Amino acid sequence: MVDLSVKIGSVTLPNPVMPASGTFSTEFGKAIDLNRLGAMVTKTVSRNYRPGNPPPRVSEIEAGMINSIGLPTKGLQYFLDVQLPDYKQYTPPLVCSITSENIDDFEAMARDVSVPGVDIIELNISCPTREPGGGNFALNEEHTYAVVKRCRAVSDKPMWAKLSPNAGDVSAVAEAAEKGGADAITVSNTLLGLRINLDNFKSRIGNGYGGISGPGVKAIVLRMVHQCSRFVSIPIIGCGGIMRGEDAVEYLLAGASAVQVGYANFRSPTAMVAIIDGLAKWCEGRGISRVSDLTGAMVDHKPRDVYEAGMMGIS
């Protein structure tokens, strides 16, 4: 039996696989056993009702999707009154994703969701279609530090900061999140992109730009996880294009302690369970007894002498 449990700061997860915020709700319980998951992550909660962005909200692209859904939410009170009790029927730890467009309200949100039943708070500071100071704090170190520090100060819950791949220097933003008091970072949200309809020369997305996710971004985000892991000592949750157990292994090797699955949930409601099973099977095949041993186990990359490398076999 492979020990799949992982520790993210003070929290132990039964396994390292959880949904990415926005791609999951207890509605998945119609198709899979939610108690198999490492954690449950809510869709991002804002204080007030938000209808979201104008449709079309999504388009297929090569190797994944582009979306601008616009964080629709029924608001904080509905989350506390209806959604939270619904989540608590299930055993995995609950990660509550929150956001706001201004820092004062973000702080208040962090306080307001620090209630029994919420095990972890994920600060969605990286919605890609927002402005640097207006919700997409993670584009810049100062904004990130400020919002994480303010939220950290008002809550005893473990707090994760979800970073943006659209920042110029993601590892500097990661450092800022750690300095601000984050217990872990999620790397990352979607990559800002565009797709144009050749029939009418308009964007395929109702909101104009959208965030790219799916297997096409995996190599990019994997590199970001690896870079961040060299700059921070807090755990990293890897998120980007994970489709199978082997993808999760790659993220762990690059330095992640756990992973989030987004796009794959849309392709297959059973994807997360298949990834958990695939991860266990892979570890078994390699004689690895604890999945947590994989974190950061990538061999340090030291470029070889070019002529020496040119004499190597192919592997």
Binding residues for another protein, per CB under 8 A? 22-25, 27-33, 36, 43, 51-52, 55-58, 60-65, 67, 69, 72, 214-215, 243-245, 263-275, 277-278
By beta-carbon proximity to another protein, the closer residue of 79 and 145 is: 79
Residue-wise DSSP of 51-76: --PPSP-EEEETTEEEE-----B--H
Nearest to 158 by CA among 5, 7, 6, 9: 9
Q: How far is the CB of 282 from another protein (least distance, A)?
A: 10
Q: How far is the CB of 248 from another protein (least distance, A)?
A: 11
The beta-strand segments (E) located in 125-274 are: 159-162, 184-187, 191-193, 196-197, 202-203, 210-213, 236-239, 258-261
Q: Is 283 a catalytic residue?
A: no
Q: How far is the CB of 23 from another protein (least distance, A)?
A: 6
Which candidate in 96, 127, 228, 239 is catalytic? 127
Q: How far is the CB of 28 from another protein (least distance, A)?
A: 6
What whole-number distance in Å separates Cα of residue 280 and Cα of residue 22?
Answer: 26
Q: Give φ, ψ of 94 to 5 degrees.
A: -105, 125
- Using DSSP's 3-state secondary structure scheme, residue 218 falls into helix
Relative to beta strand 258-261, strand 202-203 is unpaired
By beta-carbon proximity to another protein, the closer residue of 8 and 69 is: 69
By beta-carbon proximity to another protein, the closer residue of 24 and 137 is: 24
Task: Report the DSSP beta bridge partners of residue 41.
Answer: 95
By beta-carbon proximity to another protein, the closer residue of 98 and 173 is: 98
Positions marked catalytic: 127
